[in-house]
Structure 1
């Protein structure tokens, strides 16, 4: 690519891609090197622009324009608005697009949509689909009202109601044992330990840094909260760090968890990496995390302040776990207390 390069010339991605793929060389790594040399031009079309064009296709102009502004502002940010994660933008549009397409058949502009139209769209859905649609529509109309694209917000005052949470049950010991047996590598045992012992979310595990592990003082910082390292966690961490040092001795990645891909850079492992862990098993990483918090609530009493202190939960989540544990404790007492059972009435035979 550089054999005929002259001063001022740029190597375009459209030229780089076929040449590198023909030699089975990483295009991304070659592009990073050329970019560091200031001779690279990424002429690819934006994936967001392509996605946006597909999702806005079929909408009336008066609905398409405020929707496009809403999506771009969520992605890029704006005055008094922080940029959102691209996945959030995709999710919001996925919820509202069918409704916007239906409205485009009757209306030319978003300002024509009434409160009755919103209620009619919500009445066709139930459960989380209904609440998700209302949240996304409320975000769209709030933005349109704030930017002067509509005169009134038709979603004002509409409430879905509190989401009903089911009663979480403890995992069976057999499921936990099978999950432990499936963790056959140092990385898998590390992830399992962080979820099952320290109730760490996958996002927190991904972003965990080497500096967050203090083996000499037996302290581990997860999502900004420092926790003591028990003997079991200490052994798992030592095993993983020894494997990491042997497998990737020259990596500059500061994250605790690395794999074959991330060891060549400085970013965290991908979310797909976690999707493979315990796939198809009852004791998933999320179930193990929930089970650990329930175990704490059952062992130390259903105290939301204690749960918030140990795991860094927000007040509502801590209260929900405490109430869940209280129900489980009451059910267990009833099952164990013979006096609570219905006694047979009338005279009994000798």
Structure 2
């Protein structure tokens, strides 16, 4: 596996294995019910990612004959997509200020204000940011230009200053960097774990915060094409947000 995948899987597995270690002494003791309980505590995409990591772990252990039965073998998760749910206002108040580093504040602003996704945020290049014009180029199927508001512009400037002070000689081309990525000769983008670590102290996930921002925009318009253009959504996803924001406009089926 690529190192990035291994690292991502370990991030999902660590809290589950830590919890199991308080009750069992060997992974041979883990049952299907233990796996399902762990998944129920992590709904949505987090649960699906955890299940992938658990399957990889137990399949490898069985292949090496460390265990004799794979407790994930008959476990499945529903693939039905839930409608987005708004985040209570009190949880959003002061959100950017609670982020603890210049990079974290900048990332939270990109998601909370401009609804950038995880991958497109990770892969932003230094050259994509034009502070003089207050613009940020986002690489999607079609390039999208984000016009920075005053808050995001200030936070972007703060992050660039901090980045230069800490790593003035790095050749890493990405806008976001970490202690690990500036020391890596491959010059990679920041990992998914770095992104998760930014939002974990805030009690929110990046995806939930992005959904809330898109839902807020959907309340202002009933035009799915607008959401598709601004946020890079597929037509079906855009309609999901429109239907959630304007339930009174949903078409009703003939009985």
Q: Give yes or no for TM over 0.5.
A: yes
1:274-313 to structure 2, matched below 5 A, reads: 274-279=195-200, 281-299=202-220, 301-313=221-233
> Which of 109, 114, 123 is equivalent to 1:198?
114
The equivalent residue for 2:98 is: 182
Distance 1:183 1:297, change over 3 A: same
Q: How many Å separate the matches in 2 of 1:200 and 1:267?
A: 19
Q: Report the TM-score when normalising by structure 2.
A: 0.64
Report the Cα distance in structure 2 between the residues aligned to 1:92 and 1:272, rounded to whole angstroms: 14
- Which has the greater radius of gyration? 1
Give yes or no for contact 2:222–2:246 (8 Å, CA) kept in 1. Answer: yes
Q: Which runs of structure 2 are paired with 1:13-92 in the superposition (5 Å)? A: 91=52
Q: Confirm or deny: 8 A CA contact 1:253 1:264 kept in the other structure.
A: no
Q: Is 1:254 the equivalent of 2:254?
A: no
Q: Structure 1 residues 91, 127: CA separation in 2 closer, same or farther (over 3 Å shift)?
A: closer
Q: Cα 1:192–1:93, aligned 2, differ >3 Å: closer, same or farther?
A: closer
Matches within 5 A, 1:327-338: 327=247
Deviation at 1:180, TM superposition (A): 2.6
Tell me the TM-score normalized by structure 1. Answer: 0.47
Whole-Å separation in 2 of the counterparts to 1:309 and 1:257: 24
Question: What is the alpha-carbon root mean square deviation over aligned residues?
Answer: 3.2
Cα deviation, residue 92, structure 1: 10
Structure 2: runs of 5 or more not aligned: 7-48, 63-73, 250-255
Q: Which residue of 1 aligns with 2:146?
A: 227
Distance in 2, Cα, partners of 1:170 & 1:206: 25
Matched, 1:170 2:86: yes
Is contact 2:124–2:176 with CA below 8 Å preserved after alignment? Answer: yes
CA–CA distance in structure 2, aligned partners of residues 125 and 189 of structure 1: 38
Distance 1:125 1:94 in 2: 9
Structure 2: distance between partners of 1:196 and 1:238: 18
In the TM superposition, structure 1's runs of 4+ consecutive aligned residues that sit over 6 Å from their partners are: none
Does the CA contact (< 8 Å) of 2:218 and 2:241 recur in 1? yes
Q: Note the C-alpha offset of 1:173.
A: 1.9
> What do the CA deviations read for 1:109-132 (whole angstroms, capped 9, x no partner)?
xxxxxxxxxxxxxxx77752xx5x
Tell me the residue number matched to 2:22: none
Structure 1: any 5+ residue segments left out of the alignment? 1-45, 52-87, 102-123, 132-162, 331-350
**Contact 1:253 1:262 (8 Å CA) reproduced:** yes
Quote how far apart the aligned CAs of 1:292 are: 0.7
Residue 191 of structure 2 corresponds to 270
| Larger relative contact order, structure 1 or 2 (CA cutoff 8 Å, min sep 6) | 2
Comparing 265-274 with 281-290, greater Cα deviation is found at 281-290
Pick the aligned partner of 1:326 from 241, 246, 252: 246
Alpha-carbon offset, residue 181 of structure 1: 3.6
- Count of residue correspondences: 186
SS in 1 for 2:246: helix
Distance across 1 between alignment mates of 2:196 and 2:181: 16
Alignment partners' CA distance in 1, 2:101 and 2:116: 19
